[in-house]
Structure 1
Amino acid sequence: MTKVASFTKIENGLLPRFRESMNLAESTADVQKFFVYTMLDLLNNVLSDDAAGFELAYEDISLAPGQTPAYVFSPRLVGHAPLAAIMQESDLPAILSRFAEVATRQYQYLAKKPEKTEAKMYHGTGRAAR
């Protein structure tokens, strides 16, 4: 039986802030942004020992609603050998999928009601509305 590394402790540390961010998201762009920043935190924690000289960037991961899995890594990140090894030998893919699932639900909810999103963002007050 092979040993599987588990990152659920990191997941549980990030989850409350992530859920709060999703609830505060006013647009699909906010959902994407909050997802990416949380995943960067997750990956930085996971790769802390193996990331010598490897800097993660905002463009390295994105939310992909409607796809399975609902996240996409950049080619640069896919080619990073330590991450590829961790993805094979741990619960990281399942954790990423759980975060992506939560973000996708919020993304789809906000995408269905763009007028609500716009009303929140541009509520028609102040000088600009006159």
Structure 2
Amino acid sequence: MPSHISYSKLERTYTPDFRNKINTARSTNDVYNVFCHTVASMFNDITDSKKFRDSDIDFYPERECHYELGTNLKREPRVVECLHTSDMGRILDNMAQTATNRHTHLMKHPEKTNSKIMRH
């Protein structure tokens, strides 16, 4: 049985910047971009590569599972192993929930988004 690996150190590295960018996102598009970019960067760190892009992840705030990994990620053996033998699934779920909460807030209060855009 494979041992359980923890990526909490990676999580602590990415979480402050991720939360800051999500909290200052002006639109639902910004939320989508921040989430996808952060997840791609994390998997690039895990695999010691630069081959994953934002387009390898999809964000679906309306679904029960708020994200889906693209074919490139699903085919990468190191990513598959990481998802099955570590806490990466929990980390991604937490990040997706944070992004979904911000997305929902922006959808409910478009006037706040528009006023922020007008001020800058």
TM-score normalised over the length of structure 1: 0.83
Spell out, residue by residue over 1:49-83, the C-alpha distance to the aligned partner (whole angstroms, 9 max, x if none).
xx5xx710120012211223211111222222221
Among 91, 97, 112, which residue is 2:93 paired with? 97
Matches within 5 A, 1:20-31: 20-31=20-31
- Paired letter, 2:78: P
Helix, strand or coil: the match of 1:122?
helix
Runs of 5+ in structure 1 lacking a partner?
126-130
**Which residue does 1:75 correspond to in 2?**
71
* Structure 1 vs Structure 2 CA RMSD: 1.8
- Paired letter, 1:15: T
**Which residue does 1:122 correspond to in 2?**
118
Helix, strand or coil: the match of 2:58?
strand
Report if the CA contact (8 A) 1:22-1:106 is conserved.
yes
Report if the CA contact (8 A) 2:37-2:53 is conserved.
no
Runs of 5+ in structure 2 lacking a partner?
none
1:111 aligns with 2:83: no
**Which residue does 1:33 correspond to in 2?**
33
Based on CA coordinates, which of the two structures has the bigger radius of gyration?
A: 1
Report if the CA contact (8 A) 1:70-1:100 is conserved.
yes
- Identify, as 1 or 2, the structure richer in helix: 2
Runs of 4+ off more than 4 Å: none
Helix, strand or coil: the match of 1:62?
strand
Q: Distance in 2 between matches of 1:56 and 1:116?
A: 33
- Paired letter, 2:10: I
Further displaced range: 65-74 or 26-35: 65-74
Among 56, 62, 70, which residue is 1:60 paired with? 56
- Alignment coverage as a number of residue pairs: 120
Q: Percent same amino acid among aligned pairs? A: 29
